[in-house]
Structures are given as C-alpha cells and as structure tokens.
Chains A and B, each alone.
Chain A
Amino acid sequence: MGRPGGLTDKPFSYCPGCTHGIVHRLVAESLDELELTGRTIGVVPVGCSVTAYEFFNCDMAQAAHGRAPAVATGIKRARPDNIVFAYQGDGDLAAIGTAETVHAAARGEQITVIFINNAIYGMTGGQMAPTSLPAQITQTSPYGRDPQVAGYPLRVVEMLSTLDGVALAQRVTVDGPRNIRAAKRAIKKAFEYQRDGVGYSIIEVVSTCPTNWGLSPAAALDWLRQNMLPYYPPGVYRDVVADGHADIAQAAAARRAELAEQATGNASAGQPARRGGGDAA
C-alpha cells in the first residue's frame, strides 16, 4: 500500500504501535480524495506530533503549545479560501490550550481539529494528562490518578457539543480496520463541512501510547477497548447537518428559538426555565 499524495516520503518517527501514523494517513487520504491537499494549511502542536509538518505534504505551521486553534484562526481569517486543520494531542488541546479550543469552537471558526486522545503526555515521557483516567498510573500520578486530588478527566467533544459554533463533534477510535474506516469517514466529513462552510469541526480519536502505557501494541489496544472506550464512548455528539440544518447559523437560530419557546412555556406554567434536552449523544 503506497503512501497517499497528502503525505511526504519521510518515514514516520513514531513509536511502534503508535496510532499517530494511522491518523496522519486518514487525514492525508481524506484531503486527497476531496482534492483539497493543494489548498490545505495544517497546524501542528507541541507533543509527539510536533514534527508532523515533515509528514504532511502541504503548507504547514508549527504552533506554540496549546495555541494551534489560534494559529489556525489567524491563517483561516487571512486566507478564508484555504482549508485549515489543527492536529493536537490531549495535553496540547485539553490542558494548556483549553481556552483557545473552546473559543475557536464558540466562534465557529471554519477549521477542522483532529484531536488525539491517548490519556497521557507522550513526548515528555508519560505524565498525567487532562484526559488520564481515574486510577490511571502515570509518571506524575504514580499511585493512580486520584480525582480527589487531580480532579476528573475532560470529555472534550461532549463539552464542545454544547456550543453553537460547532458543526461536527465526533469521537472515533482506530483500534481495528472497522473503526479505522469509520474514523476515516468522520475525518472526511469534517473536511467536507469546512469546505462547504458549515462550521467548526472536531474529530476526537481515542488513541494508544504503548510506550508510555508500558504495554505492547496489541495489549495497548486491549487496554484502550477495556478502559478508554467506556469512559470516552465513540459517537456523534453534534452534527448540525444530520439535525437538518444547513450550517451553524441555522442550527444556532433553531436552538435559540427552541429555548425561547421553552422559557415562555415554563414562565406561563409558573416554572423556572429549564435547559432543553435533545442534543445528540
């Protein structure tokens, strides 16, 4: 199987069993198939994929830790006709870059974020991440992550799915051929949404880190299935098109109207306004 045109010939430098390579390939294939590679600009984070600008065969920017969504915003605002993606890990996106992530999503930036969640800091050698699971042992949670001390992990796509600026928030995994194909469909859809101006899209990819988890590649996939997927269930958390809207503006208007109606109804019934349910989960 040859490398897609969206990747350079440079061999990946990732550890054996690391899922970065798979996801890089899915991104590159999606862009190639949509014939977008030539007008794509990627932004890579600080973390194991810090040198990913060497692997993607398009224009690339390397961003400061956590700031990829802001860098992507700057690029997209300056060149709205380009396709812009940010590729980030969990420490980058969900710890130091949470504000940039939330606000890029809230603004409905027409960018695509690929979020690699493997519940650990890889590049620095296995420290606790914002998505490390309760009781997970890492270099900086040597007795297991204690929520009483270290708090609870962030479920990023669930959190972002509440924002009107988000067109697509989906969680996938790449633990086997079937799920890899599903992940590819999600990533491709995210770029289609960007191309069509639907809104901000984020695909969270539940991933492994065999090296820092201290497991073989195969055992790491088992650990992912047994521990990660129950905590971070794959699924579509927000898809404004599937909900019957053309874009985030329409979806936001519909949600606003729905909330206003509920508020009026509740007020006449003498009850406090309550949040409407119905968001896909």
Chain B
Amino acid sequence: MWDELISDAHRIFGYVIMLYVALSAGVYIFMYAAAARSLWRDRDLSPIQYSAVLETELVPPLSIVVPAYNEEINIVGSVRSLLGINYKQFEIVVVNDGSKDRTAAIMIEEFDMTAIKDRVSFSGLKRETKPIRAVYRSLRHPNLVLVDKENGGKADALNVGINVARYPYFVSLDGDTVLDPDAFIKVVKPIMDARPGEEIIATGGSVGIANGSRVDSGYLSSDSVRLSDKPLVVMQVVEYLRGFLMGRIGLSRYNMLLLVSGAFGVFNKKWVVEAGGYETGTIGEDMELTVRLHEEIRRRKSKARIVYVPEPVCWTEAPESFKILRRQRTRWQRGLFESIWKHRNMIFNPRYGKVGMLSMPMFLFIELLGPLVEVFGYATVVFGFFMDEINVRVSLSLALMMLLFGSLVSTGAVLFEEWRFHNYNRLRDVFRLFFYALSESFWYRPVLTLWRTHGLLQAIRGKRHGWGEMTRVNVLGAGPKPGIGPEAAAAQREGASGIEQ
C-alpha cells in the first residue's frame, strides 16, 4: 500500500512540475514575442534621434545622488566625470555616509566647498534619517553639493540625498557603474515624451557588462564595447541581454516592471517621497522601492508608469570567478525574497491589478521559487528512476527539449541585441555569444539554480548579515583602488558593508 501511495504522490508531483514548466515556458514565449515585436520595429534606428534634444535646455533638470563611503581615492575623479556629462541641467548631490577616511575633506578642498547654513534638507519624506552634520556647496561649481552625514548605509544616504535634492527628478547611481556618454538623455526620454495626463515616475535602462571593454574618462560608449575573454563573463553577458532585453520590455509595456536597477535609475522625487523613500536595512532596496511605487500607483488609482528603456545606459563590472558570482547570486536571491515577502499581500490581490495578478506571482513562482522547483524536478526524475517509475528515455528527451528551449531563448537575446544595438561587431564575438548562449542550459544554469536555491534557503532561515552594501563610486572616474585587481575589487564590493558593524 505504501508503495502505491508513494507512486501516486510521485506521479502527481511529476504532473505539477510539468504544468509548472509548461506555464513558465508560456510566460517566456510571451515575453519573447513582446520583446521581438518592439525591437523589430526599432531595429537599425538612427542614433541622431537624440541629437535634437541633446543640444538644448529642454531636458528636465536632474539631481544626481551619489552616496559615498570611504571613497577618498575615487570620489574626486567620479565627481569630475559626472560634472562633464552630456546633459544640460543637473546638480550633483554627494552624500558622505559617515566615512572614516577623508572623503568629505577631500571634496571640500578639491571643489572649494563652503557650508550652507540654512538650506532646508527636508522633502516631506516621512522616514527618519541619520543626522546631517553639514551641507556644503561648491563655489566653483554651484551645481555640486556635498552632504556630510552620520553613517546609516546606502538606503539612508539615498534618502538624505532625496531630502536635499532640489529638482523634481533624481538619479540613483551605483558605485561600480560606468555610464554611456548619453545615458541621461536616453533614460529621461520617456519622461520627456510622456503624454498629457501620463506621468512617468521611474525609468531605468539596460545594464551591460564592462569587463573586457576600455573605459575612457569614466564613460563607455558603444564603439568601445568588447567581449571579455572569460567564459564566465561571456555567460553573464548573455544572461544580462536576456534578462534586460527579453525580461523587461514586455513587463514595461504593460506597466508591470518590478525592478528599476539600482545601478542607474531616474525617479520622480514626489512619488518616491510619498511612497516613503528607500527602505533601510534591506538587501534589494531598488526592487523594494519599485514594488512600493506600484503599490502607491494602485492606492492613488493613478495612471502613472514605470518605464524601461532597452538602450544600454550603463555598464557594470561582472564577477570573474565562481566564488564571487556565487556570493552575488545568493545575495540577489535573498534580496528578491525580502522584497516579495514584504509585499506578499499584493500577490494574487486583484486590488493591485496586473502587478498583483501577474507580475508579483511571476516573480514569486518563476524568479524566486523557480530554482527550488527545478531542483525538485531533478530529484523527482532521480527518484522515479530508482523507483522504476519513469521511462528514462522519455525523461531524458523531455529534459533535452527543455534545455534546448532555454538555449533558444538565450540565442534569441543575442539576436535582439544585434537588431537594435550592434555593440558586439566582431564576428568572433557573435559566434562566442551564440555558442555560450547555446551551452547555458547545460552548465551555467544548473550551477545558478543551486546557488539561487541556496540563497532562498538562507533567506528563509533569516540570514541578513553582509547587507546594506555601500555604493562605491570608483568606476565613474577612476579604476579600482591602486593595488587592487578587478577580482579583489569585486570581492571587496561584494563583501563590503557600508554600515559600521
């Protein structure tokens, strides 16, 4: 009798997993189609589309918030780099988050900064921040402000930056972000093009991988993009292309985007303030804020939108070793868990419309629980094999089919890149991207599945330490700190916590 029960349970479990696989394949096909439609329309569009607005003062003014923690070596280069951006109206708000080094002093000396005594650094944000020690403005560059505050972590620094920012839109920048020279104009274009009555409250663009490319004065333009020689990095290039070009275009079209990357995003200050600013002490504060903005949209029954721009606007340095990649991915999974858990009331809640009924469940079942289901799937097959419950040939054929489906999806992302951006122009690079995309399902994905499952289990067990990572501003204007190779620099970033322990 037990045998029968186990056998029935195994069969039912098998069906559930097959249903799950079919549903997720359906979601992927839908996203694939939405992305294909949009990118096919825009393929080979001339870059002069931006020139008409770039030269004018028509662009909306931006407050660029740059949190800094122990950045005395890089901060000056980073700020210089930002001061030279291709944009007409902006201010830079550097928030020194209680650095233990000379970050603030070096800023004050280098940019002739003087204390402003009575600037009211309050935007209406109903969230307490660590006290501000002083606010300075550069005498040489009136659009450069330094806020010196006590240490509270990246989210707290961003909140203070929001309080001090004077323009209606602010930009959040991650430390290891290398910008495209036209990043700002590309990202604000949807704001500039918003129809009457339509409000764009946040926009973000694609993030590419900088490893292997030559960064010039803190910027990386499409012409200088090169594919790294390291297989692990190439794999991440494919993964980023798929994640951004396929994952987000469809979601953005239906206003279901749950993540505006912290690496580089533009936000409407009023909305962020209303939504309560950045949540401190959380891992994925960028996703958490985006979800909260959706909550706010629904609460107000507004038509406001969160938009994704497919253009690559910034580049980041990817981990080059399994060890650091594992640390990064387990962390991302924990961040995802936190964001979803905190807003679990939205899942399948019709009050939150498409976000509640579609994108939250999608993130829960595919992004968060997907790896776990996958592991269960493998276990079911192995279990069935030993119980003599399955036809090995059928199982292996099905597995091969799904792996090839995954490969097709990834190769499709390479195709989309070629349609729209042509960043990888050497034929050799295309072949490498394609064959790595083809191989993804056979080695990279299983490894990632294990790490992500591990991350999920850690999150469920309540692991929280190592978070509140502080933004480093090193790549905008300078390379890694002297004597630190990319690997060690990445390790330092991964492990670093901006919050004093």
- Do A and B pair up? The answer is no
